[in-house]
Amino acid sequence: MTIESEIGKGAKRVQITASEKIIADISTGIYRTPAAALKELIANAYDADATEVRIDTDVPRFSQLVVKDDGSGISLERFLEVLQRIGGSRKRLDSATGLTPIYQRKFIGRIGIGLLAVAQLGQRFYVSSTVAGEKTRFLAEVDLRPFHKDEAALRRLGGGGDGDEVIDIGSVRYVEGLPETSASHYTVITVPDPKAGLISEMLSQMRDFVGSKPHFTLKNRARNFRKIVEIVQSSKRADIVLDSYHYLAWELGLLCPVKYLDGGPFEQGSRRVEGADAITLEEPKLFKVLFDGLDIRRPILFPNPRAVGYTGPDPIVYPIEWEHTVAKRSVEITGYIYVQQPHVDAHELNGVQLRVRGVGVGPYDKTLMGYPYDEGIKFGQVSGEIYVKEGLESALNIDRSSFRETDSHYLAIRAHLWNLLQTQVFPAQKSRQNVVKLRRDAQRVEADESELASALSGAPAPIGARPIIAPTKKRAAESEPLGGRKRGAGRAPKSKKMAREGEDELSAETSGYQSIVTVVEGQAQVDREELESAVKKFNLNKDGKTRLMRVAVALAAYDVWDSMAPDEAKGLFFALAAAVRT
Amino acid sequence: MTTKKDLGEFLDVLDKEDAQEREIEAHGGSFFETAPDDETIVARAREFDDLHKHWVRRELWLKTVKRIRKAKGAGLRLLTLPGQHLFEIKLYAKEELLERLNDDGEERLAVIGFETDPTVFGLLATAGPRLLEVLRGDVLAALTEPKSSNGKVIRTHAPYDVINLDLTTNIATRNDGPYSPFLQGVRECFHIQGAQTGSWALMVTFRAGMMETEPTVIRKLEEFFQKNLDEHLKVREACLDRYQVETAKEVLAKHPEEGLGQITGKWVIEQGHAFEWECTFFRHAAYERAYTTATGQQRYSLRKLVFEFSRRLTGRRQLVLGTIPAQSWHGEDLTRLFAATALLDVDEAVAKIKPEYKRRIEDEIEAMR
């Protein structure tokens, strides 16, 4: 960058330039959403040991945008110096410990990038700051229009240069020595004329045109951030239930280093979250962001209402805690993987988000860092945060919304995540699901049988509701013919003792009664061979087979089988099999 | 379902971005384009926390506002230029003089504040106590341009119980020519106060620099004043009593800065008459300012006028006439300009204040920062 001061009438003016390479690196990432741009300013405030950042959007007019922090402030000299090195933060280099002087925070922001980000919110903006102990402040008017003009964009993206070319990206005019109290320390950024596109978006004009009906609107503004989170929590997509304004607030929570909601991200209420107590959450200390008075928090609240009433396994949290030395550099991560059925709401929270020093780097990655197996619906059941405590910095692209995916730290973290997913999370999902399925099936059978027994309680020959599959035809023929109230000769014995005594008296040939469904000691038996034959013939599934047996039992309870000859009974049995097949 | 018209409207909105860019290209709306040189910006910024100004706040403004509050029996609605540290607002709020509004759980003071400095605006927009509106821009522009966005906001919240145009400009600079935004703005105050039913206060501050003020405006005000002196015997007697001269020209020649303040005050009172407002209270405070520039030591006089108005309707019998004749009370109103208590020399008052009181004021300033 070159600075040419022009001192004369009016404010001093300097040109801002940056190398083509830096500009090309920045490309479009930081402009993706207004929240991504604001994130940069909030990160700068965090680095300046601020305890509070206030954002005022002049809602619902949006005629100006103000971001004010109570951090240490920046001197004019430093401010101008930063403009010389847009994209190349010196914060860490300036600090012997790599930590902020007051709260010992690890640096996260890059001042120059933050300024470029603001340029996307408005054509021109003002920066004013004062440092504690100084009795003055400066006021600078920053105009970075050339930076985002189409022509400049073409130049920067089309390359053509050797990367060392210097591009004029704007100018700054400033006045210094404005009076301030010595105890004051702050930085204020004012965007007096937000871009028409931004205002239109904040007003949700296009959403209105298409008849979108979000839960919160500018006329019905949320006054409590938790309310926003709760609405999103029971919705498939945050951007459907929130208008653009509220979505911005919600997204800020995802991207900025802010606290979780009071009570944390896992509510141990109507549904247990297994392992939730075992994880350590990373939250900033003494730092808050107020967006038009809304206390912004990380908008994560599980389990979703949909999961609370779902009959799957309980939601579970897997802790992440791992450190290693990779390429002689230390990498340390903590965090968690949360799994719930049937799926994670909202869609935007599905996947995994990497947070470097508390700042969310881009949105949630639904591919789980490119996990190379198709796990089907299980992918939609995962939501995780990985707090990168050490390392990965070199992998951060300058837009700070994505990573260089060949970086050794990035690859190491990815390997750890994949390993966790492959060895614990997904296998456990299967086994936990099977356990639940077996339990659920058993419960269903029990309930069905109970209902059948109840329905048959008034039948002429009440019999057990659960049919027993008799081992052999021969054995069945020795049993009591159906009904228990057989009229005429050859009546089968009614007790075990009697049945045993009757073994000598009766045989299959002489019984004269069908042997498909018989009753022994008040319990219906279905002949295995005939049953399997019907199942095979009519291709019945498990449920169909159960239905067939139950219908047969119901008929037995009403003596239907009693008078049937074997052929008739077999015909009826097969007819029933055909009828219950779905 | 989106109609073609909807989509067209939407695209029209996006088209404004181009207009924005062109306006900025032409330096439209730039703080530095309209601001004076660096020294003046700094000097003006220093004016907010000095003893003289705070003396006026306490002894003149606060007492006036207390009277209005007492007469209304409820919290007041204020239109003002709050300044970085909200001294005036904090002073009133401390005495529970301002209306407090509950904006869905968030309390706001019924204050509409204007600020041109982007930093101060940013501080005000994010500071506590929260104000009903903080608008960036020129209050006079908002008053004189009803269709501008700020002009609409100012009218949405009208009428006000107190309007404080605490400006540091001249009533008409030489750049303005005979059309003074200052005078236009003051006149517009009476328009927006149309629905006011009780007493209200108007406070105006301006620089009285004879050399900086547009001569045609001074000449016109002087003519109006002479007309009053000719029409109202009471006014002529009061003027003679005060200045020992009988003509407007002589008053201005003998006391140029005070005279400029007086003829401006007279003009304001007469605007009130045109809107059927009787001036029930008038004060004219003044103090000098000095500052250093590359060309040497400079000075100017700040005039701070305070008016209280109450509705005084024209009699029904007079309304049937084509034009409303001068009312007898108009002359009485104008004599307030020359009352012995009307003029306050703040420099003198501050010089005389006891050390303990001075310390109290200084402590108060420090505490309110």
Output the 3-class SS for A252-309: HHHHCCCCECCCCCECCCCCCCECHHHCCCCCCCCCEEEECCEECCECCCECCHHHHC
Contacts of B136 in chain A (CB under 8 A): 63-64, 190, 192
pLDDT of residue B315: 67
Give B92 or B331, the one with higher predicted confidence: B92
Q: Domain A12-191's class?
A: alpha beta
From A364, A341, A332, select the one nearest A274 (Cα to Cα).
A341
pLDDT of residue A420: 96
All structural domains of chain A with their residue ranges:
12-191, 238-431, 468-580
B30 part of contact set with chain A, CB < 8 Å: yes
A-proximal residues of B, 113-172, CB under 8 Å: 117-119, 121-123, 125-126, 130, 136, 149, 153
Among A14, A62, A64, the residue to mutate for chain B (most B Cβ within 10 A): A64
Which of B37, B41, B125 lies nearest to residue A56, judging by beta carbons?
Answer: B125
From B248, B251, B267, select the one nearest B307 (Cα to Cα).
B267
**pLDDT tens figures, A400-426:** 778 888 999 999 999 999 999 999 999
CB B179: neighbour CB atoms within 10 A?
12
SS3 assignment, position A337: strand
| Cross-chain Cβ contact B119/A190 below 8 Å | yes
Q: Which residues of B51-75 are buried (b: 16+ CB within 10 A; e: fewer)?
A: ebbbbbbbbbbbebbeebbeebeeb
pLDDT of residue A152: 52
A-proximal residues of B, 45-64, CB under 8 Å: 45-46, 49
Among A51, A184, A209, A223, the residue to mutate for chain B (most B Cβ within 10 A): A209
d(CA A136, CA A37): 28
Output the 3-class SS for B310-350: EECCCCHHHHCCCCCCCCHHHHHHHHHHHCCCCEEEHHHHH
SS3 assignment, position A178: strand
Cβ–Cβ under 8 Å, residues A302 and A260: no
Beta carbons within 8 Å of B239's beta carbon, 6+ residues apart? B229, B245, B246, B251, B338
Instruction: List phi, psi (to 5°) of B111.
Output: -130, 130
A469 part of contact set with chain B, CB < 8 Å: no
Taking CB atoms and an 8 Å cut-off, how many pairs form between chains A and B? 127
| Cross-chain Cβ contact B46/A210 below 8 Å | no
Q: What is the mean pLDDT of chain B?
A: 87
d(CA B101, CA B183): 32
pLDDT of residue A500: 38
Closest-approach residue (CA) in chain B for A198: B14
**Tokens 């619906």 map to which residue?**
A377
Write the CA distances from A94 to A49, A89, A110, integer angstroms: 15, 9, 13
Cβ–Cβ under 8 Å, residues A340 and A302: yes
pTM of the model: 0.78
Q: What share of chain A is helix, strand, coil (3-state, %, to 5)?
A: 40, 20, 40
| Cross-chain Cβ contact A68/B126 below 8 Å | yes
Distance of CA B315 to the CA centre of its chain: 30
B104 part of contact set with chain A, CB < 8 Å: yes
Q: Side-chain half-sphere of B93: how many Cα atoms within 13 Å?
A: 18
Q: Which residues pair with B301 in a beta bridge?
A: B288
Q: Which residues of A167-205 are buried (b: 16+ CB within 10 A; e: fewer)?
A: bebbbbbbbbbbbbbeebbbbbbbbbbbbbebbbbbbbb
Which of A11, A68, A193 lies nearest to residue B20, judging by beta carbons?
Answer: A193
d(CA A57, CA A199): 10
Q: Side-chain half-sphere of B287: how many Cα atoms within 13 Å?
A: 16
Cβ–Cβ under 8 Å, residues A358 and A282: yes
pLDDT of residue A483: 42
Q: Using omega within 30 degrees of 0 as the cis cutoff, is the peptide bond preceding A346 cis?
A: yes
Distance of CA B334 to the CA centre of its chain: 19
Write the CA distances from A564 to A11, A463, A472, A482, A560, integer angstroms: 110, 19, 20, 10, 8
Query: For each of chain A's 582 residues, which pLDDT tens digit applies?
Result: 333 333 334 567 777 766 555 555 554 445 578 888 899 899 999 999 999 999 999 998 898 899 999 999 999 998 888 776 665 555 555 667 778 889 988 887 665 677 777 877 887 899 999 998 888 999 999 887 766 665 455 455 444 455 556 666 778 889 998 888 888 899 999 998 888 888 999 999 888 888 888 999 998 899 899 999 999 999 999 999 999 999 999 999 999 999 999 999 999 887 899 999 989 899 998 999 999 999 999 999 999 998 888 888 899 999 999 999 988 889 999 999 999 999 999 999 999 999 998 899 989 999 999 999 998 889 999 999 999 998 888 888 766 778 888 999 999 999 999 999 999 999 998 888 788 888 888 888 888 888 888 888 888 887 776 778 876 555 444 444 444 433 333 333 333 333 333 444 444 443 446 778 887 777 888 888 889 999 999 999 988 998 999 898 888 888 888 778 888 889 999 999 999 987
pLDDT of residue A565: 85
Cβ–Cβ under 8 Å, residues B76 and B162: yes
Write the CA distances from A259 to A110, A283, A332, A358, B133, integer angstroms: 22, 5, 21, 9, 30
Dihedral (CA of A127, A132, A133, A135) sign: positive
Cβ–Cβ under 8 Å, residues A378 and A6: no
Domains annotated for chain B, with CATH where assigned, are 40-368 (3.40.50.150)
pLDDT of residue B4: 66
Burial of A504 (0-12, 13-18, 19+ CB in 10 A): exposed
Closest-approach residue (CA) in chain B for A290: B126
Beta carbons within 8 Å of B12's beta carbon, 6+ residues apart? none
SS3 assignment, position A204: coil
DSSP structural state of residue A554: H
pLDDT of residue A413: 95
DSSP structural state of residue A479: S
**pLDDT tens figures, B249-286:** 999 999 999 999 999 999 999 999 989 999 999 999 99
**pLDDT tens figures, B152-193:** 999 999 999 999 999 888 888 877 777 788 999 999 999 999
Burial of B345 (0-12, 13-18, 19+ CB in 10 A): middle
- Strand stretches in chain B, DSSP E: 78-80, 100-103, 106-115, 131-136, 162-170, 200-207, 277-293, 296-311, 343-345
Write the CA distances from A49 to A19, A64, A74, A117, A284, integer angstroms: 30, 26, 12, 21, 11
